[in-house]
Amino acid sequence: MKRKADEFRALQQGSMSVEQYTHRFMELARYAPEEVNDDEKKQDMFKKGLNPELQTFLTPQIYPDFNTLMNKAILTESAKADEKTDNKRKFLESKARQQYRFQKPWNSSYMAPRYQAPMQYRTQSQVTGPQASNTQFRGQNTMKAP
């Protein structure tokens, strides 16, 4: 019986849900009645064993009885789990959008650029006929024929 009382004093939520922790807390509390003989002591022992994140949310408030504290702990844990799931969903959506932005579109209408032969320039001597005197080439000094 002393061993169960020590187990109750050392009880921590750990990886258990609040409901599982509450069930275990109530099972072991009967082995240490002096620790939970009034409601305030019971609430303190319960809060002490909760995960630090839940303790942070629940400690600043005063609860009229143990059942109110227990229900508030269950609701808070549920809300935090929902928030975590929602944040994960939003993160994955933004990550997918970001990856999509950097990918090339894959359409059937998309055609890869073709090889284009290098541009060839004509020189003044290659131009023949009456238009030779009117033709100007960029980057070349052209002279009009007499």
Q: Is 120 part of a structural domain of the chain?
A: no
Give domain status of residue 112, yes or no. Answer: no
Q: What is the band of 92 on the pLDDT scale with cuts at 50, 70, 90?
A: confident
Residue 143 lies in a domain: no
Instruction: Report yes or no on whether pTM surpasses 0.75.
Output: no
pLDDT in tens, 119-132: 777 766 665 555 55
Q: Per residue in 56-77, pLDDT tens?
A: 999 899 999 999 999 999 999 9
For residue 130, being part of any structural domain is answered with no
Q: How confident is the model at residue 106 (pLDDT cuts 50, 70, 90)?
A: low
* Domain span including residue 61: 2-101
Taking the C-alpha atoms of residue 129 and residue 111, their distance in angstroms, rounded to an integer, is 41
Residue 140 lies in a domain: no
Q: Is residue 128 part of a domain?
A: no
Angle between helices 66-101 and 18-29 (to 10 degrees): 150
Tell me what the pLDDT averaged over the chain comes to.
82
- Evaluate whether residue 144 is within a structural domain: no
How many structural domains is the chain composed of? Answer: 1
